[in-house]
Structure 1
Amino acid sequence: MKNILKISSAFIGVLVGAGFASGQELLQYFTSYGHLGTIGAFVTIAIFGYIGLLLLRLGSRTKAESHQDVIHRISGKFLGTIIDYILIAILVGIGTVMIAGSGAIFQQQFGLPEIVGTLLMTVLVIITVLSNVDRVVKVIAAITPLLIVFVLFLFVYSLSTMDTSYTALEPLAKEQPSATGNWLVSAINYVSLGIAMAAPMAIVMGGDESSSKEASLGGLVGGLAVGLLVVICHFTLFSRMDVVAGLDMPFLGLANDASIYIGLLYSVIIFLMIYNSAISLFFSFGTRFFAPKTKKFNILVITFILGGFATSFVGFTELVSLFYPIFGYLGMLLIVILLIAPFRLKIAKS
């Protein structure tokens, strides 16, 4: 049981990141659909749970040391290459969104120009990726439990201060930008996006586990927990649409509504979560092509980080609306491959 909880906690840590911290993607994927978004949020519990089980079991049964070998094994060379490049595109695209998000924090919390936050994040990410990434990632990853505590606090605060019905709030919720045109497609798209970002690490995590049964249960419990967090976050935003509507950082706005000090602390947490995600994404992108700390690696990573900085001027909310659904649709191919993997590798039974 202890090992299962350890695996599930690690899987939650991989899936829960800066997107949860801001609340913007959850607003677009679920709350913007009102009551139908509530159904979509509950749907993610089952999908995250099952795909989490498959991912960790796949890694354990194949003794995976790299996601690339496993992806090619279950999908073939042609599809494997396509999925590989999809994952590469997601790394760069979401990394760009993270840089834009740092600008949104400075603008919303402190009233400063967005370029202050994006420039600071760009410099920090470049310095970190070119130096000791592992140490920084491990330190900041410890903030994830604190983020979850804050999310739960905001959930309680949101429900306790709600002064109108969900029916009355639904029209305002539906005025917010939506990820796709359909609530069910949006829910599946959201899971696909999350799994596409988490799959490389999750497969390797499973490869470290000798017991495929424990790995599977760890992935199942972790996936169910993430789905439950999606539901909690949805209700948190839905309950106080009067506060969060139109904000780039909905959760930050809610935190400020509770207390200016809580808002200040939460802005720091979001910034660090974004920082953690950005360095992980750009570092993983660089290592896909070259060894870390080599000249070619440095040039490649710096070029794409600066490209992300330039693209960030499009705006955080706009980039989430643009990139996330596209990557979610592309990630659906990986979901299909994962669903047929047990039949191809005959690993459906533990």
Structure 2
Amino acid sequence: MQKRTGKVLQIASTYMGTIVGAGFATGQEILQFFTRFGYWGSITIALATVLFIWLGTKMMLLASEIRAKSYEDLNKALFGDRYGRLISHFMLVILLGVTAVMLAGAGTIFYEHWNISYQAGLLITMVASFFLLRKGMKAILTVNAIVVPVMLLFTVLVMIDTFRTPGSDKFMTLVTDYSPWAAWASPFLYTAFNLSLAQAVLVPLGAEIGDRKTIVIGSWVGGIGIGFMLLAGHIALSVHMPGIQQFAIPMGGIARQLGYYVQFIYIFLIFAEIFTTLIADIYGLTLQLQERMKWSRELLTLGVLIICYLASQIGFGTLLSTLYPLFGLISLGWLVLIIRKKVAYRRT
């Protein structure tokens, strides 16, 4: 029982850590996908939470069933050999792009907040990623086991402070000029983009865990945790609407109200969230490439880091605004296919 509980928490923390990336931690994703739609935001967050629980569970159970070595094995099982290979090629490009964005984001944190040059920040992050990933999945589980509880604690602090603020119920009455259709499309777009990326680490995790009940419980805990952090961020941001929209890091403005030390911790958390997403994506990429090229994992990790370093010279903002809309569209097609797919599982 104790062993299963440990594995459940590993799945849940890795799931949350993989989804809760830089855009989530800064508040930009919550603002763009939920809060700007006013009172619809709370309802659509509930829908996104259901999707994360349902499809995250489905993904990891199937990975366990077929003993998938990488997300390409999963896509072949879902969509057939031909289309599965094609989707995996798209995912390879998407993961490379997002990894470059994460690396550029890490460099930006070093430059803007810690007075260390952008290039030095990139190199420090690359070296740390390389040595951690030599330990494989164990490194990802360990990092998320540390980062996610701290992020949850920070989320609770923000929520407590928000409910002490006048107008804390604004999330229930906030009006919007956006169409309800746009509001209802947002949770699907948000879930599609994040889950399509998360499969890079959730697929090998599901295959490694193996036990059906552990996967189901872990996915539920992780999905509910994601939903809680989304809702807490949405409530906090709603209080400060519409003025909060002018900030590049909306949650940073809210954290500033909690004092210097909390703000410092928050900036570190943003970096930590970038880092967890970065190593998860690199891990998924190297597993995928290893099936094709049969090179050592260390050599592939180094190669991926070098490619992402070169791409990161474009800059964080430019990469983000150019690549994310395209990736979101491709990911939505993947979400539709995985929802429609009927999967029969062997009970263990």
Normalised by the size of structure 2, how large is the TM-score? 0.82
Give the corresponding residue for 1:44.
Answer: 48
Please say if 1:253 is aligned against 2:253: yes
Cα 1:218–1:298, aligned 2, differ >3 Å: closer, same or farther? closer
Q: Find the counterpart in structure 2 of residue 347 from structure 1.
A: 345
1:237 equivalent in alignment to 2:237: yes
Residue 17 of structure 1 contacts residue 144 of structure 1 at CA under 8 Å; is this kept in 2?
Answer: no
How far does the alpha carbon of each residue in 1:155-200 deviate from its partner, in whole angstroms, 9 at most, with x for none?
22123123476289947x879xx9x981111110001111111113
Contact persistence 1:96–1:305 (CA under 8 A): yes
- The answer to whether the Cα contact below 8 Å between 2:104 and 2:122 also exists between their aligned partners in 1 is no
Aligned-pair CA distance for 1:252: 1.8
User: 2:50 aligned with 1:61, yes or no?
Assistant: no
Distance 1:158 1:117 in 2: 35
* 1:197 matched residue in structure 2: 197
Q: Which residue of 2 aligns with 1:162?
A: 166
Q: Determine helix, strand or coil for the equivalent of 1:333.
A: helix
What's the CA shift string for 1:57-115, capped at 9, x where partnerless?
A: 212222333332222122112221222123222222222332443465467657x6xxx
**1:302 Cα deviation after fit:** 0.7
Tell me, which stretches of 5 or more residues in structure 2 are unaligned?
Answer: 290-294
Match of 1:308 among 312, 317, 321: 312
Q: Which amino acid aligns with 1:293?
A: E
Match of 2:211 in 1: 211
**AA of the residue aligned to 2:12:** S
Q: Deviations over 1:196-222 (max 9, x none)?
A: 111132222222344324423332332
Residue 17 of structure 1: aligned partner: 21
What's the counterpart of residue 292 of structure 2?
A: none
Q: Aligned partners of 1:189 and 1:210: how far apart in 2?
A: 29
* CA RMSD, 1 decimal: 3.3
CA gap 1:252/1:47 in 2 versus in 1, 3 angstroms: same
- The secondary structure found in structure 2 opposite 1:331 is helix
Aligned partners of 1:167, 1:271: CA distance in 2, in Å? 28
The SS at the match of 1:261 is helix
**Structure 2: distance between partners of 1:147 and 1:243:** 25
User: Letter of the aligned partner of 1:151 in structure 2?
Assistant: T
Which residue in 1 is equivalent to 2:98? 94
Give the structure-1-normalised TM-score.
0.81
What is the CA-CA distance between 1:267 and the residue it aligns to?
0.9
Q: 5+ unaligned residues in a row in structure 1: which ranges?
A: none
1:30 paired with 2:28, answer: no
Partner Cα distance (1:57, 1:330) in 2:
23
State the number of aligned residues.
335
Identical aligned residues as a percent? 22
Q: Deviations over 1:321-343 (max 9, x none)?
A: 54334323212233233234434
